[in-house]
Homo-oligomer: A and B are copies of this chain.
Amino acid sequence: MLRFLILGHHACTDGGFSLNDLPGSGGRMDVLCRCVTSSLLLSHDLRRDVECCLVLASDPRSPRTLLFRGSEIRYLSPDERSAGALIKKALGTICGDLFRESSPGVYIRRGGLEGLLREHPCAVLDEDGDDIRHADSLPDTFILSDHLNFTPAERELLAGLAAYSVGPRPLHADQAITVLLNEVDRRAEKWI
């Protein structure tokens, strides 16, 4: 199982955002929507062995974590609004500290980064990391930031973790996921 954790620093934690304004009213929810689709969707197929977790943290005192499971997901199309609609529905679901399913393959709970890090040993996917092509083996969980850098508090939580980079130029989070998955695909299929 491969897993991506994405931090949405300004991402809305209630379902009140507009699907017509994912960047503004959603707090750059468009970035997170693209991360979901790049993690889980192939052309006319799904990546059933991938999970994508979003941390929505516009209110850092009360963040939400969403989990998208490639093995179970339904109603996810490649356009941003489709993922946005699933996120909106999840945020309209009453939840506690345990994941609760809001639609097939989509789960929500209270809590943010710290809980995820306790559950999943992970590596950072960041511009300053080691080249993924030169890694003998790749971790199965990666954490990425949205359009913003990790905050000092996040960097403290992530200190000591291995860090990997997908290439020499700064990419969007969804683009970095796409390149990482290409490397994983190639290793699995001996396309090296």
Contacts and interface: CB of A to CB of B under 8 A. Distances in A.
Contacts of A185: 167-169
Interface of A: 19-20, 22-23, 30-31, 34, 38, 41-45, 77-81, 131, 133, 147, 166-172, 175, 178-179, 182, 185-186, 188-189, 191
A111 B19 CA distance: 34
In this complex, the member of A178, A188, A189 whose beta carbon has the largest number of chain B beta carbons within 10 angstroms is A178
A3 to B, nearest CB: 18
B44 A170 contact: yes
Contacts of A131: 191
A167 B191 contact: yes
Q: Which 5 residue pairs are nearest across A and B when measured between Cβ atoms?
A: A168-B189, A30-B79, A43-B170, A178-B178, A175-B178
Contacts of A42: 169-172
A185 B22 CA distance: 30
